[in-house]
Structure 1
Amino acid sequence: MERFFEFVLNHYIYSLALAVVTYLLIQELFDSAFKKFSTISPMLAVAKMNDSDTLIIDVREAPDFVQSHIENAINAPLSKLSESLKKLTEYKHKPVLVACQNGTRSLSAAKLLTKEGFEQVFVINGGMQSWEEDYKLPVKLGSKNKSNA
Structure 2
Amino acid sequence: MQEYIAFFQENMIMSVVWVGLVVALIMNIVKTSTAAYKEITASETTALINRENGVVVDIRSKDEYKKGHITEAVHILPSEIKSGSFGSLENRKSDPIIVVCKTGQTAQESANLLAKAGFEKVSVLKNGLTAWSEANLPLVRGKK
TM range (shorter): 0.7 to 0.9
The equivalent residue for 1:135 is 135
2:106 alignment partner in structure 1: 105
Verify the 8 A CA contact 1:76 1:84 in the aligned structure 2: no
1:125 is aligned to: 126
Cα deviation, 1:37-63, whole Å, max 9, x if unaligned, reads: 222222332222122333211111111
Residue 90 (structure 1) aligns with: 91
- Aligned CA RMSD, in angstroms, stands at 2.3
CA distance in 2, matches of 1:75, 1:6: 57
Is 1:25 the equivalent of 2:16?
no
Deviation at 1:112, TM superposition (A): 3.0
Q: What's 2:39 paired with? A: 39
Aligned-pair distance for 1:23?
A: 0.6
Would the aligned equivalents of 1:39 and 1:123 in 2 still touch at CA under 8 Å? Answer: yes
Query: Where does the alignment leave 5 or more consecutive residues of structure 1 unmatched?
Result: none
Distance 2:78 2:23 in 1: 27
Provide the C-alpha distance between the structure 1 equivalents of 2:52 and 2:7, rounded to a whole number of angstroms.
59
Q: Note the C-alpha offset of 1:139.
A: 2.1
Deviation at 1:84, TM superposition (A): 4.7
Q: Tell me the distance in 2 between the aligned counterparts of 1:53 and 1:106.
A: 20
Q: Which amino acid aligns with 1:127?
A: G
How many residue pairs get matched? 143
Task: Note the residue ranges of structure 2 that are not aligned, 5 or more in a row.
Answer: none
CA contact (8 A) 1:92 1:117 kept: yes
How much identity, in percent, do the aligned residues show? 24
The amino acid that maps onto 1:135 is A
